[in-house]
Amino acid sequence: MSLINLTQEEKTALDGVDERELGRLIDEALRSGRSDDLRRLPLGRCGPYVSGRLRSYEQALSRFHEAKSAAKSARTEEDARRAGHGLSNAVSQMKRRKDEEEREGKLFHVEDGFIHHPIRPGKRMSVTIGFRWRRSEGDPWNDGHITFEHAHDPKPDYAREAPRPKLSAARRQREEEDELHRVWENLRDSALFSVRDFFRGGGDGGEIPRTFQVTVDAYHRTLNNRSTEFWLDKAKPTGRS
């Protein structure tokens, strides 16, 4: 499963959508109340953002053409027009993202498809992100990786905890495991975006440390949106690639 990169299927589908034709078919669907012709475009394979906007448009179309009163018809027609505009914009955004990824891919790639998800994450957890980079298109590729390490030890927030019945040991264990899964996935996603953003900012892959102990919020001792920014002055890497 790709987490930050478009899949090849999504890229191919986006290439197969002509935006002018898409606009024409959106307008035609609004007039006819049918989205059959729109479905002939590979919109469902352009990724969850586009396919979600397609569903929203089809649902808005259905409400518009089922409306009975003039007031409801006018309101749902406007909703359908906005949903159609949203679908068109979603395709445009994803096409721009594809172009950006392809430009970036000439100099770096962050691997997001083969990250091992632990069956039972412990409180001491880690995520390893692989990548490749080169300084110019004429240079050979270099491979590297960085392991982000995190000790999950949040500060209890008694003020926000609502009173609740005493849990069984099994239920308490399940809730603790669910929380650790959520924390690990947050760590994984944050790590991926941090490595990608480092390269996007012109960073040199040779300066990425082999391991990095993530930082946590000073008060809550939880991950935040800067926890995995290994290039900050406050970072204390334990090794280099």
- Last-in-domain residue among 104, 139, 161: 104
Does 218 lie in the same domain as 115?
Answer: yes
Tens of pLDDT, residues 124-133? 999 999 999 9
Is residue 82 situated within a structural domain?
yes
Range of the domain at 94: 8-104
Does 118 lie in the same domain as 86?
Answer: no
Does 177 lie in the same domain as 126?
Answer: yes
In this prediction, residue 208 carries a pLDDT of 96
Does 120 lie in the same domain as 46?
Answer: no
Does 137 lie in the same domain as 99?
Answer: no
Does 123 lie in the same domain as 221?
Answer: yes
Is residue 1 situated within a structural domain?
no
- Last-in-domain residue among 104, 137, 158: 104
- Last-in-domain residue among 73, 104, 135: 104
Q: Which residues, 6 or more positions from 133, have their beta carbon under 8 angstroms from its beta carbon?
A: 107, 108, 109, 141, 142, 144, 199, 204, 205
Does 133 lie in the same domain as 25?
Answer: no
Is residue 2 situated within a structural domain?
no
Whole-prediction pTM: 0.83
In this prediction, residue 175 carries a pLDDT of 85
Is residue 91 situated within a structural domain?
yes
Tens of pLDDT, residues 60-76? 999 999 999 999 999 99
Are 227 and 213 contacting, i.e. CB atoms less than 8 angstroms apart?
no
Q: How many domains does the chain have?
A: 2
Which of the residues in the chain have pLDDT under 50?
234-241
DSSP label of 44: G
Is residue 3 situated within a structural domain?
no
Quote the tokens at residue 180. Answer: 């650790």
> Which residues, in sequence order, are bridge partners of residue 133?
108, 142
Tens of pLDDT, residues 97-108? 999 999 999 999
Does 117 lie in the same domain as 98?
Answer: no
In this prediction, residue 144 carries a pLDDT of 97
Q: Is the dihedral of CA 205, 207, 211, 214 positive or negative?
A: negative
Is residue 132 situated within a structural domain?
yes
